[in-house]
Chain A
Amino acid sequence: EAQVTQNPRYLITVTGKKLTVTCSQNMNHEYMSWYRQDPGLGLRQIYYSMNVEVTDKGDVPEGYKVSRKEKRNFPLILESPSPNQTSLYFCASSSGSSYNEQFFGPGTRLTVL
């Protein structure tokens, strides 16, 4: 089954404790992206990657890091989480053409205390 998977689905942590949210896709997609969803703000793009070893900032990259060492994986790293990073996070992927739709993972609900 073609899918985007994220782990963990739920995470409660404390300020300053480094964490990684994993994202993996099995569709051989070139493009992958991370979003955060907050009430009234819709989805805001954090980082995206157009292929292996190619990443770029989205609209809200502060406090986040990403890497793309393999085509299928695109982990999101919060090196020192803060309460304002409490949110619902989605990973998405699509094939390389700009007009192709994205496939979304199920989401990771992160709470930073």
Chain B
Amino acid sequence: AQSVAQPEDQVNVAEGNPLTVKCTYSVSGNPYLFWYVQYPNRGLQFLLKYITGDNLVKGSYGFEAEFNKSQTSFHLKKPSALVCDSALYFCAVRPFNYGQNFVFGPGTRLSVLP
């Protein structure tokens, strides 16, 4: 069965410090990988995606993510966190060989403390 894990329900980081939000996945075949962010009372917004090529992808608002095939991980990172980065973050996969079905992780709440 396809699944996405985000092992931390909550991540706290001080403003200005680097942040990491973890994601691991279990799918058959080669997946496309995505990160989305959800601010309070809003829909999800796309941050970045991995399709192929360079394992480090850059996205919106200074976020980046590193794809690691051997560890089946796609961790979200940012060198210097801002208070306005506080939100709910979702990792998602879309298996290349299995049609159009997206699978989302449970979400990680990021709190950036001033």
List residues of A whose CB falls within 8 A of some B CB.
4, 31, 33, 35, 40-45, 48, 50, 56, 58-59, 90, 92, 98-99, 101-107
Find the A residue at minimum CB distance from B95: A98
| A102 and B46 within 8 A (CB) | yes
| A31 and B100 within 8 A (CB) | yes
Q: A40-B9, A90-B43, A107-B43 are in contact. List 4 more A-B contacts (CB 8 A).
A: A4-B43, A41-B106, A56-B100, A101-B49
Number of A-B residue pairs having CB atoms within 8 Å of each other in the complex? 61
Please, which residues of chain A bring their CB within 8 A of the CB of B102?
A: 33, 45, 102
Interface residue count on the B side (C-beta < 8 Å): 27
| A99 and B101 within 8 A (CB) | no
Give chain B interface residues in 7-53, CB to chain A under 8 Å.
Answer: 9, 32, 34, 36, 41-46, 49, 51
| B105 and A104 within 8 A (CB) | no
Q: Do most interface residues of chain A lie in helix, strand or loop, or is the interface mixed?
A: strand
Interchain residue pairs A-B with the least CB separation, the first 9: A104-B43, A42-B106, A43-B104, A101-B46, A104-B44, A42-B104, A99-B51, A99-B32, A106-B43
| B90 and A42 within 8 A (CB) | yes
Please, which residues of chain B bring their CB within 8 A of the CB of A44?
A: 104
Please, which residues of chain B bring their CB within 8 A of the CB of A90?
A: 43-44
